[in-house]
DNA sequence: CGTTTAATTGAAAGCAGTCAAACTATGTGG
DNA sequence: CCACATAGTTTGACTGCTTTCAATTAAACG
């Protein structure tokens, strides 16, 4: 399903910063080019000039960077409604890559227009800064996850994070959610190999902590999974405590 | 040596954003409380309300977060002149801890004053946003470092980063620099144990890539160390290419 | 100088990686 | 609708990097 481009974004931004009706309209009125893109399409490339910023209207995306030897580290996963490149809003050269995970619809906005809007409407600038800082907070948690947790904890933590974030948007339900990532990609997100991700998922499944049907994943024992993943949603800086964040089961 | 509180910061901010003379004066005129703090002092605590923002006038600091089991991941290292808590400028609750590494002098500014100033002077707001986004870029590189590089590469990369950043401020010279961190702390910064950091440093030393006298470290073969660490300074978003960044030897 | 903290070294164990093969979806063309 | 091709998942055996545990040496400090 494709959602009107900016509505989800506006809703997301408005959760944490106060936006007037005029602010909201200004956001929705941004000159955006809607584009359908294939899975794996590059939206931003490391080292290149940053000329635009996009919003995910539907589909999933991720940010990524590569070592000289070609190993990939996924830096974050993005779900519908999220702005994809506010990280570079004030930087001229991209320091990482942004790619779609699935087929996706993106609304592309010239970077300059967004900067101008932020300057003309401070509350929008502030709201964008909040969004960027929340993304940074998530990256910090990933640093902790990869640097100091073992495989089982890492995988559990990632599954919890995506569940809570999707739930906050109403995109996850009692049946769990579909995580459109290969195990190779999951591995690159948590600093493991695909093989080891597989074994870890199998183990979590054997312990009854997750259930899988293809890539649809659900959580028979949410509380326990949260404990295994050492997950606490503080770092997501959610405005309202969603029921999942508060500790209830997502599925 | 203690440096007049905001001068280094102003210089740092002005590198990447244009600040008028009035902007600079407004920054320098900020109501700051100067404070001498002991090594290990907490400037911000995870979960607490963020009421102020500080600037390191002298000494080193770091940001950090802990797993439920108590393992620590250092998220970044801060050198004199850097703002210590712009990560939380738009967030109410701190998502990580900020601590001094050495005895340090910090200039403490009420968060609200900084936000007000940013609103009154958009260029300052922009400059602060740039600084925050550069910090985030460094965190992303650390994610890649920890997630996808082995011990030797990680340690080399960290040493290179600190060298280039200090050099950009003129705080590193041909004799290298003093890194006031224990190997325990180094380990927590690169996702390794202290023991393995020790072995790794020893190996780099045996290979003639680094030289150590206590915690003063220098680089007999900078180029090679850079290659080992897969280090490229793009992600630091340095305004001018410092000679170290350009590939010359730091020591 | 004794005491504490940090650095160093050795031996052993273990978690995750590597390599390789089998299996299973998914998709395509005939 | 089937046969084949391709991408992704699963499993096993083995390797190895890093950790763990422990003890020793060196450095920092009052």
What is the nearest nucleotide to B199, using C1' and CA?
C8
* d(C-alpha B42, C-alpha B174), whole Å: 33
Bridge partners (DSSP) of residue B238 are none
Which DSSP symbol is given to A88? G
Q: pLDDT tens, B214-250?
A: 999 999 999 999 999 999 999 999 975 554 444 444 4
What is the nearest nucleotide to B194, using C1' and CA?
C7
On the question of pLDDT at A243 being above 50, the answer is no
On the question of pLDDT at B166 being above 80, the answer is yes
Q: pLDDT tens, B125-147?
A: 999 999 999 999 999 999 999 99
Which DSSP symbol is given to B193? -
Instruction: Report pLDDT for A179.
Output: 95
* d(C-alpha A130, C-alpha B95), whole Å: 13
As a whole number, mean pLDDT of residues A205-223 equals: 95
Q: Is the dihedral of CA B146, B147, B152, B153 positive or negative?
A: negative
B206 — contact with chain A (CB < 8 Å)? no
Instruction: Report pLDDT for B79.
Output: 95
B178: closest CA of chain A, how far (Å): 25
* Nearest neighbour of A148 by CB, restricted to B67, B130, B132: B67
**CB B106 within 8 Å of CB B84:** yes
Nearest to B227 by CA among B160, B146, B145, B140: B160
Chain A residues in contact with B134 by the CB 8 A cut-off are 91
* Nearest neighbour of B148 by CB, restricted to A73, A88, A230: A73
Instruction: Report pLDDT for A240.
Output: 57
Buried b (16+ CB within 10 A) or exposed e, A75-113: bbbbbbbbbbbbbbbbbeebbbbbbbbeebbbbbbebee
As a whole number, mean pLDDT of residues A97-124 equals: 94
Q: pLDDT tens, B61-99?
A: 999 999 999 999 999 999 999 999 999 999 999 999 999
Nearest to A77 by CA among A165, A208, A156: A165
**CB B100 within 8 Å of CB B185:** no
Quick one: chain A helix, strand, coil %, rounded to 5?
Answer: 45, 20, 35
Question: CB less than 7 Å from strand D: which protein residues?
Answer: A 182-184, 194-195, 198-199, 201-202, 212, 215; B 150-152, 187, 191-193, 195-196, 199, 214
Percentage of residues in chain B having pLDDT higher than 70 = 93
Instruction: Report pLDDT for B250.
Output: 47
Give the tokens for residue A234: 């503080």
CA/C1' separation A31–D8 (Å): 39
Instruction: Report pLDDT for B15.
Output: 84
Residues 48-87 of A with CB under 7 A from strand C: none
User: CA-CA distances (angstroms) from residue B57 to A152, A247, B119, B216?
Assistant: 42, 42, 24, 21
When the pLDDT of each residue in chain A is averaged and rounded to a whole number, the result is 91
A202 — contact with chain B (CB < 8 Å)? no
On the question of pLDDT at A25 being above 90, the answer is yes
Contact A133 B73 (CB under 8 A): no
Contacts of B98 (CB under 8 A, 6+ apart): B42, B43, B44, B61, B62, B63, B64, B84, B85
* d(C-alpha B121, C-alpha A221), whole Å: 51
Contact B144 A65 (CB under 8 A): yes
Q: pLDDT tens, A47-76?
A: 999 999 999 999 999 999 999 999 999 999
What is the band of A128 on the pLDDT scale with cuts at 50, 70, 90?
very high
* d(C-alpha A133, C-alpha B176), whole Å: 34
Nearest to B172 by CA among B209, B211, B218: B218
CA/C1' separation B184–C1 (Å): 28
pTM: 0.94
Nearest to B211 by CA among B178, B242, B247: B178
* Nearest neighbour of A142 by CB, restricted to B69, B95, B143: B143
Instruction: Report pLDDT for A100.
Output: 97
User: What SS3 class is residue A219?
Assistant: coil
CA/C1' separation B237–C29 (Å): 51
**CB B121 within 8 Å of CB B49:** no
* d(C-alpha A153, C-alpha A145), whole Å: 8
Q: Is the CB of A147 under 7 A from strand C?
A: no
Bridge partners (DSSP) of residue A53 are A109
**CB B140 within 8 Å of CB A135:** no
What is the band of B203 on the pLDDT scale with cuts at 50, 70, 90?
very high
On the question of pLDDT at B168 being above 80, the answer is yes
Contact B91 A134 (CB under 8 A): yes
Instruction: Report pLDDT for B97.
Output: 98
The residue among A143 and A246 whose pLDDT is bigger is: A143
When the pLDDT of each residue in chain B is averaged and rounded to a whole number, the result is 92
* d(C-alpha B205, C-alpha B215), whole Å: 13
* Nearest neighbour of A133 by CB, restricted to B75, B91, B122: B91
What is the nearest nucleotide to B181, using C1' and CA?
C6
CA/C1' separation B195–D18 (Å): 10
Instruction: Report pLDDT for B235.
Output: 98
Per mean pLDDT, which of A106-110, A190-194, A212-216, B51-55 is the most reliable?
Answer: A190-194
Instruction: Report pLDDT for A6.
Output: 73
């Amino acid at each position: 399903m494709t959602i009107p481009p900016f509505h989800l974004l506006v809703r997301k931004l408005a959760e944490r910063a106060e936006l007037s009706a005029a602010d909201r309209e200004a956001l929705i009125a941004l000159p955006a080019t809607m584009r359908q893109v294939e899975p794996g399409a590059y939206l931003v490339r490391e080292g290149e000039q940053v000329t635009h910023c996009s919003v995910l209207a539907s589909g999933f995306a991720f940010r990524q960077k590569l070592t000289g030897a070609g190993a990939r580290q996924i830096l974050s996963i993005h779900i519908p409604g999220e702005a994809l490149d506010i990280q570079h809003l004030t930087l001229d050269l991209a320091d990482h890559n942004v790619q779609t995970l699935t087929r996706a619809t993106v609304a592309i906005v010239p970077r300059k227009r967004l900067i101008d809007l932020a300057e003309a409407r401070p509350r929008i600038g502030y709201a964008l800064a909040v969004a960027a800082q929340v993304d940074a907070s998530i990256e910090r948690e990933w640093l902790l996850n990869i640097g100091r947790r073992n495989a089982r904890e890492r995988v559990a933590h990632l599954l919890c994070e995506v569940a809570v974030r999707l739930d906050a948007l109403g995109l996850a339900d009692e049946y769990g959610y579909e995580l459109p990532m290969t195990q190779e990609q999951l591995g690159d997100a948590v600093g493991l190999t695909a093989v080891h991700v597989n074994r870890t998922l199998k183990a979590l499944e054997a312990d009854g902590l997750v259930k899988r049907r293809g890539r649809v994943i659900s959580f028979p024992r949410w509380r326990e999974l949260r404990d295994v993943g050492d997950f606490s949603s503080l770092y997501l800086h959610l405005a309202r405590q969603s029921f999942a964040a508060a500790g209830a089961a997502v599925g």
